[in-house]
Structure 1
Amino acid sequence: MKWKVLFFGLLGINSLVVALLFFYMFQPSSSPNISNINGEGPTFTVQTSKQHMNTLIRDYIQKHKKEGELSYDVQLADRLYVTSTIPIFGKSVDLTMAFDLNVDESGNIILDHPIMTFGQLRLPVPYVLAYIEKHASLPNWVKVDAKKERIYIVVSNIRIKEGFVLKAKTFDLNKNDITFTVTITK
């Protein structure tokens, strides 16, 4: 009789183990949530050329130009050039500003080492930048630092569309290598 109790006890334990195996086997698996691990969304790299950037800049200037403002042009060549003509005593005088471009560790563009000319006259950079900082209506993503003789383009503040963050990665005009990253934050 003792063997019957042990046999049915062992049969019960085996049945319980098989039942638990089937129970856990048919439960849905828990997959890790990888969609938002570091607080950012997917990031895409966008590479372009000086020609495409010149078109984009020209279109932006035309779209945001206000009536009565001084007209100007921005061109990417070996440096970034901002050119305009100013009428003085019935004659047009060329105003030219040239900058080197660099990208900082935050993905912003720094315009530095400026050369500014009015006709053939070379202008003092700190004074011109201080005037621009005080009197020009610049977008909120353009910051002028007259003391350091630099202009910062805070690329992440450029609104391309809600939920997208833009950062500059490379901006090498000599190699025609212009790369941005676009991160989707939604």
Structure 2
Amino acid sequence: MKQKKTGRNLNFWKWAFLLLLAINLSFTAVIASRLIQVREPNTGKISTGVQDKVKVGTFTTNKSQLNKTIALYLKQYQTKKMNYKIYAASSSILFEGSYQLLGYEVPLYIYFEPYRLTNGAVQLKVTSFSVGTLPLPEKDVLQYIKSSYKLPNFVDIKPKKSVININLQDLKNKEGIYLKATAIDLVNDNFSFDIFKKKP
């Protein structure tokens, strides 16, 4: 009698496991299909031009999560000679690195005010900086960063204008996914981005 009960129990757990597995697989399939499904265009905004991209979603984050993401992404751009950090502080975006002068490393801090551009890029405008006690012009410091630091291709430093443009819409990857900033709000700790996918 005990052996029969054990067999029935094993059989029951086997079927329960298979049922649970089937539910999980179908749930995953539904979510995946919803993620890659293209929404029908709004009939009021139908364009005759061919769209080379499709919006696949929006995500919102805060300073803490944004800083972790930036740090993780920038790991591949650090070198033994030159490493740096970029993060969102309470009221500014901060760049921390060093300036090489006559063989000495001088601490470098640059404070930026972020702006969202109409094309979805983020512009960082220099508000203040510190290179030890050296009285260097802003454009020289930005030119030094441009020529000495390893940066992502979508980062465009404009020393003469004292700005750095982060062209998220030019982000390149195998999936063809890129971002456009929709809200950059340090005070209210809110950062929103639209996610786009390039059509093959």
TM-score after normalising by structure 1: 0.70
Instruction: Give the C-alpha shift of residue 74 in structure 1.
Output: 1.5
Query: Which position in structure 2 is the counterpart of 1:111?
Result: 124
Alpha-carbon distance between aligned partners in 2 of 1:174 and 1:154, rounded to the nearest angstrom: 23
Does structure 1 residue 165 correspond to structure 2 residue 159? Answer: no
Letter in 1 for 2:83: S
Answer with 151-160 or 45-54: which moved more: 151-160
Distance 2:114 2:197 in 1: 26
Partner of residue 57 from structure 1, selected from 37, 57, 70 = 70
The structure with the greater share of residues assigned to helix is 2
Deviation, 1:170, is: 1.0
1:179 partnered with 2:192: yes
Q: Mark the CA change 1:115 to 1:108 in structure 2 (over 3 Å): closer, same or farther.
A: same
Contact in 2 for aligned 1:116/1:124 (Cα 8 Å): no
Q: Which residue of 2 aligns with 1:74?
A: 86
Q: Which moved more, 1:146-155 or 1:116-125?
A: 116-125
* Most deviating of 141-150 and 156-165: 156-165
Contact 1:126 1:147 in 2 (8 A): yes
Q: Which runs of 5+ in 2 are unaligned?
A: 1-39
AA in 2 matched with 1:43: V
Q: How far apart in 2 are the matches of 1:148 and 1:89? A: 27
| Contact 2:106 2:131 (8 Å CA) reproduced | yes
2:150 counterpart SS class? coil
Q: What is the rounded CA distance, in whole Å, between the counterparts of 1:160 and 1:173 in structure 2?
A: 28
Identity of aligned residues (%): 28
SS in 2 for 1:69: coil
Q: How far apart are the structure 2 equivalents of 1:109 and 1:184? A: 19
**Aligned mate of 1:141, from 154, 157, 165:** 154
**Aligned-pair RMSD on alpha carbons?**
2.7
Number of residues of Structure 1 aligned to a counterpart in Structure 2: 153
- Aligned letter for 2:184? F
Q: TM-score, normalised by structure 2?
A: 0.66
Contact conserved, 1:106 with 1:167, CA < 8 A, in 2?
A: yes
Q: How far is the alpha carbon of 1:100 from its aligned partner?
A: 0.5
Other-structure match for 1:124: 137
Which whole-Å CA distance do the structure 1 matches of 2:160 and 2:168 have between them? 21
For residue 147 of structure 1, give the secondary structure of its aligned residue in structure 2. Answer: helix
- Return the alpha-carbon distance in structure 1 between the equivalents of residues 102 and 144 of structure 2: 22
Structure 1 equivalent of residue 97 of structure 2: 84
Secondary structure, aligned partner of 2:188: coil
- In structure 2, relative to structure 1, the CA distance for the partners of 1:141 and 1:90 (3 Å cut) is closer
CA distance in structure 2 between the partners assigned to 1:143 and 1:90 by the alignment:
27
